[in-house]
Amino acid sequence: MGRQGGLSQRHMRRAAGCRLVEVFSKALMQSANSSARGGSKQRQQSDSMLVLVCVAMAKQFVLRTKYHRRMIDLVFLPALLSVACQSVSEPELLHMLMESLTWLYTFLTAYRPPAAEENATEVANLQMVQLLELGAVDIIATCVRQDDQGMSSWGIGFPHEFLS
C-alpha cells in the first residue's frame, strides 16, 4: 500500500475513534424520520445534502471489514434502508445505499464469531425480518428494474445474501 493508502487508513481510524461512525448513524436515522414528516423545501434540500455526505462517508467505512461489526451494532442496516426508501428517485444515492447494505448484510451472515455459531442464524434472521418489515422488498424491486446494470446487480445481490 502506498503513502496515500496508509494516510487514508490513519484518517479513517482517527475518524472512527472520534465517534464519526455514530454520528453518521444518527444523522441517517434522523433524516429518514424527518423526511417522513415533511418540512420546508430548503430544509429538505439541506437534509438531502447531509444524507448524501453521510452515505458517501459511511460507504467508505463499509468497504473496510474492521468497521462492520460496529456499524451493525449502531443499527446501520435499518438506517441505510430507511434512507433508501426515501431516496428511490435518486439513482446514485440508491446505488451507494444498496452497495453498503449488501456489504454489511454479507458481513452479518458470513463472519460469525465461533462462540455464537448456533445463535448467528437467529441474529441474521432477526435483522432480515426487520429489513423486510422496513420495505426491503420494494427497494430490491426498484433496483432490479433499473436500466443501470450496477444497480440491478446490487438489487439482486442483496436478496442473495438473505437466502445464503
If pLDDT is split at 50, 70 and 90, which confidence band does 128 have? confident
Classified as helix, coil or strand, 151 is helix
Q: Which amino acid is at 81?
A: L
How far does CA 13 lie from the centroid of its chain?
Answer: 19
- Decide if 111 contacts 68 (C-beta within 8 A): yes
If pLDDT is split at 50, 70 and 90, which confidence band does 85 have? confident
Rounded CA separation 26/79 (Å) = 8
According to the model, what pLDDT value does residue 146 have? 85
Rounded CA separation 82/104 (Å) = 15
Q: Report the chain's C-alpha Rg in angstroms.
A: 16
Q: What is the mean pLDDT of residues 128-132?
A: 84
Count Cβ atoms within 10 A of the Cβ of residue 112 and give its class: 0-12 exposed, 13-18 middle, 19 or more buried.
middle
Q: What is the mean pLDDT of residues 36-41?
A: 62
Rounded CA separation 124/132 (Å) = 12
Rounded CA separation 5/122 (Å) = 37
Q: Is pLDDT above 60 for 49? A: yes
Rounded CA separation 129/78 (Å) = 11
pTM: 0.76
Q: Is pLDDT above 70 for 119? A: no
